[in-house]
Amino acid sequence: MHRRRVEAFALPSFAESNTFMYRVLLNSMEPLTGRQQKVLDFIRKHQRKTGFPPTSREIQTQFGFRSQTAAMNHLRALERKGAIQRTPGKARALTDPAAKLGADFRSVPLLGTIPAGMPVDGEQQAGNDLGVDSRFFGLDGSSDVFALRVTGDSMVGAQIADGDTVILVKRQARDQDIVAALIDGEVSLKRYTVKKGRPYLKAENPLYPDLIPAQELVIQGVMVGLVRRRG
């Protein structure tokens, strides 16, 4: 029987390599070397820009390492010093919706689709529930969380592809958050941007224009991660 591969990406403290995930911690327990600090700074900068920490291959490319192993060694050193936290074997740690939920899993309502393109008229529609690891996505019992299936390619620069499922939390948006928004009565997934005190929605694809509200901009949820199915 053909099985689909499932990948999960959590924001803001997740990055995928081939075999593990890591979380970026606020403070390291030991001083870092100059190169280690540069790697950590790159991780944080990449995370702010794209919404995702970099993969080990992207770290290799950034610093010109001869092999991906060198990047992995730097990540291991950062882990030993308490700057990041790795979880072996959880690079693709998400179950199918029908899977039995364990202690750290919760059921998240899948409310339909959201365009990552030009905004369209639409209302949220109840669909299947999605089983997610609440600790992996940084969710607590009080989080008001839901999921939406992405259609379109306006957010490919933030590594959000057509067919992905985004996990969102209902909370106040901050500048540069990726959000599900109702703009002048139409829904869209975009990056929430504030310039000179005026908020608007920005695509992560140069083929799409900025969306500037004429009357209203209502944030329906802030993205904390996504699920990608392959195969």
Options 17, 188, 190, 202, the catalytic residue = 190
155, burial (CB in 10 Å: exposed 0-12, middle 13-18, buried 19+): buried
Phi, then psi, of 203 in degrees rounded to 5 = -80, 160
Options 56, 154, 188, 202, the catalytic residue = 154
- State the DSSP string of 61-78: HHHT-SSHHHHHHHHHHH
Which residues are within 8 A (CB) of 165 and not within 5 positions of it... i.e. 6 or more apart? 110, 130, 147, 148, 149, 150, 226, 227, 228, 229
Phi, then psi, of 69 in degrees rounded to 5 = -60, -35
| Pairing outcome for strands 20-24 and 15-16 | antiparallel
Measured CA to CA, the distance from residue 89 to residue 79 in angstroms comes to 16
Q: Is 190 a catalytic residue?
A: yes
**Annotated catalytic sites, by residue?**
154, 190
